[in-house]
Amino acid sequence: MKQKFIFTLACCLLSISLFAQYVPDILGDNYLQRTINMPDDYEGEVVCTLIKKPELDNTGKAILYIHGYNDYFFQKQLGDSANAHDYNFYALDLRKYGRSIRPNQDPFYCKSLNEYFADIDTALALIRSEGNDTIFLMAHSTGGLITPYYLNEKEKKSEPLPVDGLILNSPFLNWNFGWGMQHLVMPAVSVTGKFFPDLTVQGKGDSSYSQSLLKQYHGQWEYDTNWKMFDGHPKKAGWIRAIQEAQQSIQPGANINCPILVLSSNQSFPETAEWNDQYLKADIVLNVDDIQKYGALLGNQVTRHQITDGIHDLILSEKPARDEAYQTIFEWLKKTTMQNNSAD
């Protein structure tokens, strides 16, 4: 009797412990979050945060979303749409972003993009442990550079890919600068970053993109501007070097052996000091021609599509473009899932 009681108590404690790993998320609507402690780095304490919708019954399919620079997951419509299409949905706030920022940290800072690999590995392992055997990785902007870099490094080491496909929403595959900045200034800053990684080389940015998103200005969305800062955050030479190294690694061509969907707007538009309504119908952050050019070189199973009048984060575009983005994503997912299943 005593042994049975101890066993029952242990099971209850284990159940409570496992349940407590997830707590209600700030988004509400049944979203949950789990803080994952990672090994300390050069700034001290490090965590990443996995956000999810409660699992669907018996689907076995999941999407893991990774945000861009100066960003975090707040796009509930994306998670809701994934569930509506029979996919479990997860999002990851990487270390030093959003829910994962700690007081000891400089937000968004890294010295190499491979610092995020452990966060992604851990999130994917947890998602798989929760009954998902088909997982698609979806990423935006800088996340859209981190993820192909991550997968390509696994290919280089002949490691099996942990995902069944990759969806890139306006990936940051190249700087959006003129020739001089691109070929002279950025390489020089990158070299500086090797020796002086903590040197601040750029102050805060322009607020035009934030104004195109936020409801109180010209956009349709609300989010925490402590985590997605209104006019950006100063950048250090070490971060510039991290981006430069990753871009140069994959620009000549990658060998990612899974289906890839590369999405961008159909047009870019130069950002200026004064507001322009064209900001609501174009990518004012990156060059869409570069996205399409370098996106085509990521593997031999790449599908490319341009969203008419889409903005930099395509799923935050005005409704016609947003609808096209969602339709393209889920039609590609359906087709790719069917092809993967038939190949098995």
Q: 67-103: per-residue pLDDT in tens?
A: 999 999 999 999 999 999 999 999 999 999 999 999 9
Q: Name the least confident of 62-66, 239-243, 273-277.
A: 273-277
Phi, psi of 90 (to 5 degrees): -135, 150
Rounded to the nearest integer, the mean pLDDT of the chain is 93
Q: SS3 string of 18-66? A: HHHCCEECCCCCCCEEEEEEEEEECCEEEEEEEEECCCCCCCCEEEEEE
As a whole number of angstroms, the distance between CA 332 and CA 89 comes to 16
Q: Where are the domains of the chain?
A: 20-343
pTM: 0.93
Residue 209 pLDDT greater than 80, yes or no: yes
20-343 topology per CATH? Rossmann fold (3.40.50)
Give the pLDDT confidence of 227-274 residue by residue, as tens digits: 999 999 999 999 999 999 999 999 999 999 999 999 999 999 998 878
Compute the average pLDDT of residues 168-185.
96
Q: Name the least confident of 45-59, 140-154, 162-176, 286-300.
A: 45-59
Query: What confidence tier does 323 reach under pLDDT thresholds 50, 70, 90?
Result: very high
Task: Give the confidence band of 3 by pLDDT, cuts at 50, 70, 90.
Answer: low
Check: CB of residue 140 under 8 Å from CB of residue 170: yes
Amino acid at 207: S
